[in-house]
Amino acid sequence: MSCAGPKKGIKYEPAESLVEILSEFQRQITYDSYRFPTPKDLAGRNIFKATLVKLNNYEKLYPGRFKQIIAFNKAKSWERLQDYRRAIKYYKDAEQYMPLKKTARQNIQICQEFNNLKKQYEKFPGKEPEAVLARLDKMIDSWEPLIRKYMGTPYEPLAREEREQLEFARVLFLEKNWFHRSKGKLLIHNSYRSLIKKHIESKNINRYFIKFGDFYARLAHEYAEEYDPESIHFNSKDFERLANYASELYEVPASKDGIAEKVEAKGKLDALSSYMNYVKELNQ
Helix axis angle, 155-177 relative to 98-119, nearest 10°?
Answer: 20
Which of 232, 274, 226, 272 lies closest to 250 in space, CA to CA? 272
pLDDT band at 15, cuts 50/70/90? very low
What would the mean pLDDT of 43-62 be, rounded to a whole number? 94
Contact criterion met (CB below 8 Å) for 78 and 71:
no
The whole domain housing 51 covers: 1-119
Q: What is the pLDDT of residue 225?
A: 95
Largest CA distance in the chain: 80
Whether the pLDDT of residue 283 is over 50: the answer is yes
Examine residue 251 and state whether it is found in any structural domain, yes or no: no
Examine residue 68 and state whether it is found in any structural domain, yes or no: yes
Q: What is the pLDDT of residue 10?
A: 52
Min mean pLDDT across 1-10, 57-66, 97-106, 254-263 is at 1-10
For 54-69, the pLDDT digits (tens) are 999 999 999 999 999 9
What would the mean pLDDT of 126-152 be, rounded to a whole number? 91
Q: What is the CATH number of the domain that holds 18?
A: 1.25.40
Mean pLDDT, the chain, integer = 92
Q: What is the pLDDT of residue 6?
A: 44
Structural domains of the chain, count: 1
Share of the chain above pLDDT 70, in %: 93
Examine residue 83 and state whether it is found in any structural domain, yes or no: yes
Examine residue 79 and state whether it is found in any structural domain, yes or no: yes
pLDDT band at 4, cuts 50/70/90? very low
Examine residue 168 and state whether it is found in any structural domain, yes or no: no
Contact criterion met (CB below 8 Å) for 209 and 268:
no
Examine residue 131 and state whether it is found in any structural domain, yes or no: no
What would the mean pLDDT of 159-167 be, rounded to a whole number? 97
Whether the pLDDT of residue 224 is over 70: the answer is yes
Read off the pTM.
0.89
